């Protein structure tokens, strides 16, 4: 399944997954996100649909390759009040 990345989750993504950080396998950012959807289900997928994804502090697309111990971050939009 490829290397294991650290998936960091913020705001609604953290709430829907019930964790702020988890290890997820995947050879690409898309693989890591797909593994997370499989693990956390539809509520997480709904948050992910509107979120930005970063790899090691930089914006990333689903095809970006992932190495062991890379950090994939899911950043949902900020809601104000």
Domain extent listing, the chain:
4-75
Q: 40 pLDDT band (50/70/90 cuts)? A: very high
Structure tokens at 33: 């996100």
CATH 3.10.20.30 fits 4-75, yes or no: yes
CB 43 within 8 A of CB 8: no
pLDDT, tens only, 12-22: 999 999 999 99
Mean pLDDT, residues 51-73: 96
Order the strands of the 21-25 sheet from edge to edge.
21-25, 4-9, 71-75, 52-55, 58-59
Entry field: residues in the chain = 81
Task: Give the global pTM.
Answer: 0.92
Task: Indicate whether 53 pLDDT > 90.
Answer: yes
């Amino acid at each position: 399944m490829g290397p294991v990345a650290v998936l960091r989750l913020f705001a609604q993504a953290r709430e829907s997954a019930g964790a702020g950080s988890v290890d997820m396998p995947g050879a690409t950012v898309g693989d890591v996100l797909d593994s997370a959807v499989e693990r956390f289900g539809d509520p997480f997928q709904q948050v992910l649909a509107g979120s930005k994804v970063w790899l090691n502090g930089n914006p990333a697309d689903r095809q970006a390759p992932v190495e062991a111990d890379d950090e994939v971050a899911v950043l949902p939009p900020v809601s104000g009040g």
